[in-house]
């Protein structure tokens, strides 16, 4: 949930903290608003399937926002 001026961005990283190609913070679409079902998107990379079974780290960058939960599909 973000305020009117807030936002959320997410970066996917490998186990050592290095951004995954195509999933860096600069590739993250900015999320605005208050939604429990809004998907996180990265420009040009709609599918996380290639990383299934691989340990990843998530880097959240919040601006005037609260994060209550996250789910992978």
C-alpha span between 15 and 34 (Å, rounded): 30
Question: For residue 39, is it within any domain?
Answer: yes
Question: Into how many domains does the chain fold?
Answer: 1
C-alpha span between 15 and 19 (Å, rounded): 10
C-alpha span between 24 and 13 (Å, rounded): 8
Question: For residue 72, is it within any domain?
Answer: no
C-alpha span between 65 and 49 (Å, rounded): 28
Look-up of token digits 């807030």: 6
Other CB atoms within a 10 A radius of the CB of residue 40 amount to 17
Query: Could you say which residues of the chain have pLDDT below 70?
Result: 1-4, 36, 46, 72-73
Q: Which domain holds residue 39?
A: 2-65
pLDDT for the residue 19: 95
Give the DSSP H/E element, type plus range, for residue 59.
strand 57-65
pLDDT for the residue 13: 95
């Amino acid at each position: 949930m973000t305020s009117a001026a807030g936002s959320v961005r997410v970066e996917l990283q490998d186990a050592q903290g290095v951004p995954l190609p195509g999933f860096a913070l600069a590739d993250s679409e900015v999320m605005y608003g208050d939604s429990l079902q809004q998907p996180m998107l990265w420009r040009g990379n709609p599918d996380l399937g290639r990383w299934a079974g691989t340990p990843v780290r998530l880097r959240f960058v919040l601006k005037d926002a609260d994060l209550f939960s996250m789910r992978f599909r």
